[in-house]
């Protein structure tokens, strides 16, 4: 895979589409990409947020992004967005799947509507972005990249975030596999897992669509949600997250971790995982299959398209 220049200059002039790009982490990523000279298309749901973002670009004297109204669960809408971006700019080089909802509640009480809404946005939205934009990114020239923004929940489960965690684990697995598929096309692919960030993500439960109203979670009082939201005030500035995302793109990192405070957790995950392996010999035939798997992965990273015949 072609590596980007370390100063990021080769990305100037490339076109990026960022979902949920007018607030929170999406806006921070958009601002960092704009700093690097990329041209932008940003999806949005809230008109007031769109206006504030447009003002930021105007105040900086920069090219206005193409603003695209979009519900990321709308497949037809996503396809139309991809056509609009290509029509406006002529090509698309970068996709940042960022939009998501943060909804919490005990998993054992969840309804089908809870699963359908949270998984539909957090995982389905990423799927829709990939299906709609990958053909256009493959057809473009120059440096290209896909960033799927998940969460530290992709590694760290908790009792109040079962479906949210499942959605982020799914994005993690999809992205780590997709990287092998995109490498032969010269397209980078990164999983970004930010942690506590100064955003309004805490209020997602207040924006639940009527079609998913039948929740199994007990209603949460607005005052309780607002108290929970005070934790986000201690979060990282979204612009700092955005700068770290772009640095990860420049270095073509498979995994972009933005927050430093999780070494203890990762060391525990490593210990528990290694200790869970049975202390016994594996038969030669199985060892050979795993050797082939590792070799195929290395070959994919080096730019070779891998088929089933490479695995046996």
The residues facing 96 across adjacent strands are 18, 147
Torsion of CA 80, 82, 88, 90, to 10 degrees: -140
The residues, ordered by sequence, that sit 6+ positions from 110 with a Cβ below 8 Å of its Cβ are 162, 163, 215, 216, 217
Q: Are 81 and 69 in contact (CB under 8 A)?
A: no
Instruction: Report how far residue 148's alpha carbon sits from residue 169's, in angstroms, rounded to the nearest whole number.
Output: 12
Instruction: Report how far residue 80's alpha carbon sits from residue 70's, in angstroms, rounded to the nearest whole number.
Output: 9
The residues, ordered by sequence, that sit 6+ positions from 206 with a Cβ below 8 Å of its Cβ are 222, 225
Report residue 96 as tokens: 């940042």
Angle, helices 75-89 vs 124-139, to 10°: value is: 30
Report residue 33 as tokens: 């990409």
Instruction: Report how far residue 297's alpha carbon sits from residue 158's, in angstroms, rounded to the nearest whole number.
Output: 31
Q: In a 3-state reduction of DSSP, which class is residue 32?
A: helix
The residues facing 145 across adjacent strands are 94, 188
180 catalytically annotated: no
Identify the active-site residue in 112, 115, 164, 180.
164
Q: In a 3-state reduction of DSSP, which class is residue 99?
A: coil
The residues facing 97 across adjacent strands are 148
Active-site residues, by number, are 164
């Amino acid at each position: 895979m072609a590596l980007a220049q370390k100063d990021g200059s080769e990305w100037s002039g490339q076109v990026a589409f960022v979902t949920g790009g007018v607030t929170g982490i999406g806006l921070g990523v958009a601002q960092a990409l704009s700093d690097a000279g990329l041209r932008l298309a940003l999806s949005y749901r809230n008109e007031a947020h769109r206006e504030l973002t447009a003002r930021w670009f105007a105040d900086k004297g920069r090219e206005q992004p193409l603003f695209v109204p979009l519900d990321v669960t709308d497949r037809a809408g996503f396809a139309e967005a991809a056509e609009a971006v290509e029509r406006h700019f002529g090509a698309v080089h970068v996709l940042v799947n960022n939009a998501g909802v943060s909804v919490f509640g005990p998993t054992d009480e969840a309804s089908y509507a809870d699963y359908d809404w949270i998984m539909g946005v957090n995982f389905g939205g990423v799927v829709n972005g990939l299906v709609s934009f990958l053909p256009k990114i493959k057809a473009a020239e120059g440096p290209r990249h896909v960033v799927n923004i998940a969460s530290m929940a992709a590694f760290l489960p908790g009792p109040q975030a079962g479906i949210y965690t499942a959605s982020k684990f799914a994005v993690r697995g999809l992205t780590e596999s997709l990287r092998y598929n995109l490498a032969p096309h010269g397209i980078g692919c990164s999983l970004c897992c930010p942690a506590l960030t100064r955003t309004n993500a805490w209020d997602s439960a207040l924006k639940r669509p009527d079609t998913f109203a039948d929740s199994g979670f007990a209603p949460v009082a607005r005052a309780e949600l607002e108290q929970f939201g005070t934790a986000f005030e201690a979060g990282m500035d979204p612009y700092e997250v955005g700068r770290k995302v772009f640095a990860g793109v420049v270095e073509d990192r498979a995994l972009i971790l933005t927050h430093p405070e999780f070494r203890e957790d990762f060391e525990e995950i490593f210990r528990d995982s290694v200790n869970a392996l049975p202390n016994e010999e594996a038969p030669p035939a199985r060892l050979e299959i795993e050797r082939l798997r590792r070799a195929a992965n290395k070959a994919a990273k080096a730019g070779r398209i891998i088929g089933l015949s490479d695995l046996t």
